[in-house]
Amino acid sequence: MTEPNDARVGLYIDFDNIVISRYQQLHGRNAFQRDGIRDFDKSRADADPEIAARLAAATVDFNAIIDFALSFGALVVNRAYADWSVPVNANYQRQLMSRAVDLTQLFTATTRGTKNGADIRLAVDVVEDLFRLPDLTHVIIVAGDSDYIALAQKSKRLGRFVVGIGVAGSTSTSLAAACDEFEDYGSLPGIEKVAATSDAAATTTEKPKAGKKASEPADKQPKEAPTKVRKFTTNPMFSHTDDMQFDEPEPADDTDPQTVATDLLVRALQIGHAKGDADEWLNTGTVKNQMRRMDPSFNEKPLGYRSFTDFLASRSDLAELQEDGPQRLIRLRPDAAGRR
């Protein structure tokens, strides 16, 4: 493995994917299409202020993404793919250009747009760079589309460390598994936590249905169920244009992220013990690395823990912690597997 100070990083941003995913994460499924965000121009006199406010709340901080990419090494390739003539995309140009991002223009051949334009162009460029730049050590793909699974696998096969960055709820779990490391955009350093609205709340601009008065008091209207935030189990996002829907329906999922993380920890500890004595103490750093290899999307911070040690301490009924000088050690309790 190349030393960190010698690492050379390629950052490839599927711009539409991350922007659309973030908007729909906060404002509901298909909200980007419903609100007509692709052609929305907030500078126009007749621009809907409510839509403008929603768009502002869903603004993607690409500075945070670039800063995170720089933590892996020197950024030698820095590209974002989109149709930059679209108003919502053009609003980001100054921010991106100030960070020396190469804005790759994708022209649309029809009014419906090109569904896979960014996917194909980005993938071709990555493969070309892998052979043209043999000293490229890291490939960072900012997208959640399952179309990039083969690209991630090919990059790893050619000896590169692959990092994915996507939005929770719009990321293919298969893509996360294909990467060496996968990060949720909302968990990146510097990203403020923004509460998501429910699908119903995101449709407040629609006309009231027949038989219901628009002026009906809020306290008499039926209450909506709170939005459920999912952390690990996600669905792929395939749509890149304003008039295309998701190719697959969102599957129902009641899995608790805390339970998923606990099961992941137990499996990682069982694997560690299987390689040695059953009662052997394991280094916590080694355990976390094993968990990340098993599920590259694992991160303790979205689960509410400031550190991995805090996460482990919360599972004290399943695992024992011990400090040995500067090292922290852990081992699975004998009856832990049966009490998950």
- For residue 38, the domain's CATH number is 3.40.50.1010
Q: Is the pTM value of this prediction over 0.85? A: no
Q: According to the model, what pLDDT value does residue 337 have?
A: 59
Domain for residue 152, yes or no?
yes
- Mean of pLDDT values over 52-73: 93
Question: How many domains are there within the chain?
Answer: 2
- Mean of pLDDT values over 262-285: 85
Residues 180, 34 within the same domain: yes
- Mean of pLDDT values over 199-228: 43
Residues 11, 151 within the same domain: yes
Q: According to the model, what pLDDT value does residue 278 have?
A: 64
Domain for residue 240, yes or no?
no
Residues 157, 281 within the same domain: no
Domain for residue 82, yes or no?
yes
Q: What percent of the chain has pLDDT over 70?
A: 76
**Greater pLDDT, 118 or 143:** 143
Structural domain containing residue 138:
4-187
Q: 172, 187, 202 — which closes off a domain?
A: 187
Domain harbouring 299, CATH code: 3.30.420.610
Q: Tell me the per-residue pLDDT of 276-293, one tens digit each, with 9 for 90 and over.
A: 766 689 999 999 988 888
Residues 11, 149 within the same domain: yes
- Mean of pLDDT values over 62-74: 91
Residue 254 — pLDDT band, cuts 50, 70, 90?
low
Mean pLDDT across the chain: 81
| pLDDT of 9 higher than 90 | yes
Residues 275, 177 within the same domain: no
Q: According to the model, what pLDDT value does residue 255 have?
A: 76
Domain for residue 58, yes or no?
yes
Q: According to the model, what pLDDT value does residue 219 have?
A: 47
Residues 26, 174 within the same domain: yes
Q: 187, 211, 235 — which closes off a domain?
A: 187
User: How many beta carbons lie within 10 A of that of residue 57, not counting itself?
Assistant: 15
Domain for residue 264, yes or no?
yes
Domain for residue 213, yes or no?
no
| pLDDT of 65 higher than 90 | yes
Domain for residue 101, yes or no?
yes
Residue 339 — pLDDT band, cuts 50, 70, 90?
low
- Return all residues near 256 (Cβ < 8 A) that are at least 6 apart: none
Residue 243 — pLDDT band, cuts 50, 70, 90?
very low
Q: 187, 215, 244 — which closes off a domain?
A: 187
Domain for residue 234, yes or no?
no
**Greater pLDDT, 248 or 53:** 53
| pLDDT of 267 higher than 50 | yes
Residues 112, 261 within the same domain: no
